[in-house]
Amino acid sequence: MIDHSKGSFFGRRVGKPLRAARREIFEAAIGRLQPDLGRPAPADLRDMFASPVDEVWMEIGFGGGEHLLHEAGRLPRTGFIGVEPFVSSLAKTVADIEAAEFGNVRVYGDDAIKLLDWLPEASLDGIYQLYPDPWPKRRHWKRRFVNPVNLDRIARVLRPGTCFRFASDIDTYVEWTLAHLAAHPAFEWTAERAADWLVPWQPWSGTRYEDKAFREGRKGHYLEFRRC
């Protein structure tokens, strides 16, 4: 059995208290939208969704939900599982899901490694991690989500030929990610030209963290790795 108790890959989970109206929406919907990891995962993840879907993607750390919701609206036949442990962001996105009446989105409000370990082997058609916390101090590098053990987890749940997509504006984390993925036998970088990692895959909706990076003069890097 995998021990989930040793550390986490995120910081604080609770910000300001939720407003009463948002808390009411959140409490009414989260039981329906969040997978119950106390039960076995469905053999076919498409069965998790209220709407019929043809494939299933995961977004690890969806923040304000901008990308997750954009993709869910753009691709109604794709199921999305969004992971976000920060309660305020999770509650905001749950309210947006309810308002849009998306039947192709599920959310999980805890550490992504628990969900990855629960999912069946080769059950996902893609994974995003966009602008994660880079944990820039050396003593915190062990908290970076991209590491050999978590790449094993990601490789296990991705179908062969599908992709792990990563975006960041922090050069050291981009270099870290490239080095770790290059060393992992289950992945190959899909870049064909020098500029490929400077241009987001299309269509691209962006995130609030990307907007913040641009305002502060940093540029994004967009990496795609194919599961061999």
Residue owning tokens 């502060």: 216
Query: Catalytic residue at 169?
Result: no
> Of these residues, 133, 152, 169, 171, which one is catalytic?
133
Residue 183 identity (one-letter amino acid)? A
Rounded distance between C-alpha atoms, residue 28 and residue 22, angstroms: 10
Rounded distance between C-alpha atoms, residue 218 and residue 23, angstroms: 35
- Two structure tokens written together for 67: 């990308």
Per 3-state DSSP, the chain is made up of helix, strand and coil in percentages (nearest 5) of 40, 20, 40
Give the three-class secondary structure for 218: coil
* Most distant pair of Cα atoms in the chain: their distance: 51
- In this structure, are residues 206 and 67 in contact, taking their beta carbons and an 8 Å threshold? yes
- In this structure, are residues 177 and 150 in contact, taking their beta carbons and an 8 Å threshold? no
Give me the active site residues, please. Answer: 133
